[in-house]
Homo-oligomer: A and B are copies of this chain.
């Protein structure tokens, strides 16, 4: 069988294995990993979740093991509609909620119904590597809008939308992680949020709001979700249980207008039929019992400590001229090393793991067009403060040497 001959063009080349590599590095014995965006093992509320799981299997096992509706269990959709109201001030009906197998599936389903090869999608630069890979897999062209400490530079987006509107290439959607962005950690300011939502409505371009980290604030003050500002129905909201309960359950949700939700359900039907019934019942009961709210609160406290340890380690050990933004929440610190010819964090990654036993994600993974050679993402969500100190010490020394050697 000549497999490569019969593949569709998009899949003929070497696959991007950045995320697989992240997963593998994170599991290597003895390596301090700043790579994966994993919740710390100490964030899971294991005794409570275990008790709920045992009870669901004992009392409602036949439902937990059986097929469920493609859109998700009604009770979970109702719970999420209520929670969206209570937590984010978003008034929606359960019929606007689709349960997905993680937030990434939510984005994938949106891509399935909206994208054809050559279509334009707008994203922040840098942006979440998983989302970029999913969008690019549909043959779409990613147009990047630069970010600063207040997130996406929405004035530049306005210019780009104006320019694109007179061409044949109306963007299919805008993808954004507005709060504690992956990878930059930046949070879009309130003023920019209003402008962004207005622009999406004015140009009739859907705005995909990935809220993965939005609840994990440990400093600063709350900002409204894009969805709560949305009057036109342009915002498609991606939610996930991964960072507030468990990524291993593979559960997320999309909030979208009902007409579009019908399409998402239809395409989900052809993708994986329905999400895990056991996972859904477990997440619902953890929500009802307040386990999720307790986990969010405790996670924020742990993340605050770890972010502080990361910041202290960077100050103490990294080369002079290194720059980063102090995150106010989420999992990530985005580091810009002094710009030096030949410095390439992607090329240095294997060596860092082999020689220093520290893993990170290279800056280039977060751009669609290969920038970021002097940047890297450090995730502080998983390691202990002591490991963060040790890891930044090793990595700081490593980059000092690389810069001294002319990288």
Residues of A within 8 A of B (CB): 1-4, 6-8, 11, 15-17, 19-20, 23-24, 27, 36, 38-39, 41, 44, 46, 49-50, 53-54, 57-58, 61-70, 101-102, 104-105, 108, 112-116, 130, 133-134, 137, 172, 204, 206, 232-234, 242, 245-250, 257, 259-260, 262-263, 265-267, 269-279, 282
Contact = CB atoms under 8 A, between A and B. Distances in A.
Given A102-B273, A259-B3, A61 B65 contact: no
Nearest to A63: B248
Contacts of A24: 69
Contacts of A102: 272-273
A24 B269 CA distance: 14
B17 A266 contact: yes
Given A11-B113, A105-B271, A250-B275, 15 more contacts: A1-B204, A1-B257, A3-B260, A6-B114, A8-B115, A11-B263, A17-B266, A27-B69, A44-B62, A53-B278, A65-B245, A66-B246, A104-B271, A105-B272, A130-B270
- Overall SS of chain A's interface: helix
A273 B277 CA distance: 18
A377 B259 CA distance: 31
B263 A15 contact: yes
Contacts of A27: 69
Which residue among A20, A63, A250 has the maximum number of chain B CB atoms within 10 Å of its CB?
Answer: A250
A11 B278 contact: no
A141 to B, nearest CB: 15
A278 B67 contact: no
A176 to B, nearest CB: 17
A231 to B, nearest CB: 11
A229 to B, nearest CB: 15
Given A63-B248, A263-B11, A70 B276 contact: no
CB-CB nearest 8 A-B residue pairs: A15-B266, A248-B277, A65-B246, A54-B54, A50-B57, A41-B62, A134-B270, A46-B61
A118 to B, nearest CB: 12
B61 A38 contact: no
Given A250-B101, A250-B274, A276-B250, A65 B44 contact: yes
A20 B269 contact: yes
